[in-house]
Amino acid sequence: MIRLSIPVRQALEKLSLPVLIAAAFALMLIGKADAVLAVRVRMALTDTLSPIYATMAQPLANLRGVASDVVDIWDIRAENTRLRAENEQLRRWQAAALALEAQNQEFKAQLNWMPMAAPAFTTAPVVADSGGVYARSVLLAVTPPHHLTKGEIALDDRGVVGRVTEVGARSARVLLITDINSRIPVVLASGGHAVMEGTNGAFPVLRYWPEGSAPIDGERVMTSAAADAFPAGLPLGTVHYNSDNVPQVYPEADLDHLSMLRLFDYDSTGVLAPDAPAGRLATPATPGAGSAGATTQGRTSPAIRSR
Amino acid sequence: MDKTPGIRPRRSLGQRMDKAARRGFPAGTTILGIFLISAPLGLPGQAQVMPAFSLSAIFFWTLFRPASVPPPAVFLIGLLADLLGEMPIGTSVLTLLLTQYLVVRSRRYLLQKGFLFVWLLFVAVAAVAAALQWALACLMNWALYPPIAGVFQFLLSAGLYPLLATAFTQAHRAVAAPERV
């Protein structure tokens, strides 16, 4: 270290602050003039620090977990009252359902009612969400002993997801109800009929309802047996009018988070599902839409039908 | 500089290291604090804690231990605060250096006053600092930012100072006291 005389050192000490203030201005000018340099210095610094932050991440996450637990405990009272109210409501629904079931049993007993065959189903995992801007479909993995057929109906735990449109040796593609190629005849809770069209957006829209039976906001939409494309009564969603006064269907199925699908073989679809995406080769020899009962796949099951 | 000349035994290595640690405590903890604050803690208002903390630290240590926060150290601290706090480079440096300048000039007078007076003065300094940083950020990016962030920064600085000052005073008297070697 250079030995300086005391007056010089004092002078330097006094000078250092103004000089550094000037340097701060210079720094600001440099930072303004060369923005790339500033970014690079910043990146280098955060790169150096990132391992430290990474080691801190786990304890921090624990700490945050504890904090959120505390908040949860705080909220538990309100949650409890809400759940109690909901439980009460559910119990009322349960009572209604039981009453209806009993009534149903009674009617069945009186009417010599013929039950529908329980549909066979297979379950397959969704391996790829190949939906994009132009198509909404998902890819399923199918293991060899199982086999899917075109036209099977895919449901998740809440409602209809779509139809199987392509079947490969180990995979199958399901065209979602939101795809622009998807058109599904539906029945509204109020009794009206319509067609649900996909838009490639999050919500399909309803079209072609008879005059005088417009969809009502909030009512449930179910599949209709019209054209024999779907069995009747599968849950699709609820009607909501958007700002353009177009009735949209908010799908019941959780289309954004599909992981497992149940594929029901109703075995009666006279209308083949469309191909996805548009422009692929269509299967030949499809009968005209609406030719009820005429199955072209050679998979008729008279035993079930005639029961 | 040796304030008490005389003959005494040469200091051992441990003693010298201890002394260096005590001398470096203010700047060291400030830098460590800046690193900690810039960590992804996910706290609300974390962006405003950085200037509040650095301003409080520099203000306190310049007032009570000016030898431990020399202007170059303040320059470095300001630079780190700018780089890690995503401020336009140089703005914290300038604010902190100006604060130090002000404190150094009025140090003798301030040391005779009580905590409340010092805090009130700090509140004024924090107001000016927040306004200055806001104005500099606007100027440097050539955009008019909503001043609410500056107001929040000022309130946080003013409110955080008593807490930090209490902690710093404890440290000043115990861990970091240079005369305790």
Q: What's at B124, amino acid-wise?
A: A
pLDDT of residue A16 exceeding 70? yes
A31 closest CB neighbour out of B35, B78, B88:
B88
pLDDT of residue A52 exceeding 60? yes
CB contact under 8 A, A27 and B97: no
How high is the pLDDT of residue A84?
Answer: 93
How high is the pLDDT of residue B90?
Answer: 87
pLDDT of residue A287 exceeding 60? no
pLDDT of residue A110 exceeding 50? yes
CB contact under 8 A, B90 and A31: yes
CA distance A263 to A149: 10
B140 closest CB neighbour out of A16, A28, A57:
A28
What is the gyration radius of the CA atoms in chain B, in angstroms? 17
How high is the pLDDT of residue A177?
Answer: 92
A17 closest CB neighbour out of B42, B80, B97:
B97
B33 vs A: CB within 8 A: no
Query: How do residues A148-162 score in pLDDT, each as one tens digit?
Result: 888 889 998 888 999
Regions of chain B where pLDDT drops below 50: none
Mean pLDDT of A114-138: 77
Question: Which residues of chain A are within 8 Å of residue B99 when distances are taken between CB atoms?
Answer: none
Question: Which residues of chain B are within 8 Å of residue A46 when distances are taken between CB atoms?
Answer: 84
pLDDT of residue A294 exceeding 50? no
**Top-confidence residue, A302 or A58:** A58
pLDDT of residue A278 exceeding 80? no
Question: Which residues of chain B are within 8 Å of residue A41 when distances are taken between CB atoms?
Answer: 83, 89
Q: From B58, B26, B51, select the one nearest B177 (Cα to Cα).
A: B26
Residue of A nearest to B86 (CA): A42
How high is the pLDDT of residue B77?
Answer: 93
Q: What is the ipTM of this complex?
A: 0.78
CB contact under 8 A, A16 and B93: no
Question: How do beta strands A120-128 and A235-241 pair?
Answer: unpaired
pLDDT of residue A82 exceeding 80? yes
CA distance A233 to A225: 8
pLDDT of residue A240 exceeding 90? yes
**If residue B117 lies in a helix (H) or strand (E), which one and from where to where?**
helix B115-141
pLDDT of residue A1 exceeding 70? no
Mean pLDDT of A213-225: 89
Mean pLDDT of A99-118: 81
**Top-confidence residue, A306 or B111:** B111
CA distance B172 to B166: 10
**If residue B128 lies in a helix (H) or strand (E), which one and from where to where?**
helix B115-141
- What's A240's DSSP letter? E
What is the percent of chain A where pLDDT is above 90? 20
CB-based contacts of A219: which residues, under 8 Å, 6+ apart? A188, A189, A190, A238, A239
Residue of A nearest to B66 (CA): A13
pLDDT of residue A204 exceeding 90? yes
B66 vs A: CB within 8 A: no
- pTM for the model stands at 0.53
How high is the pLDDT of residue A299?
Answer: 40
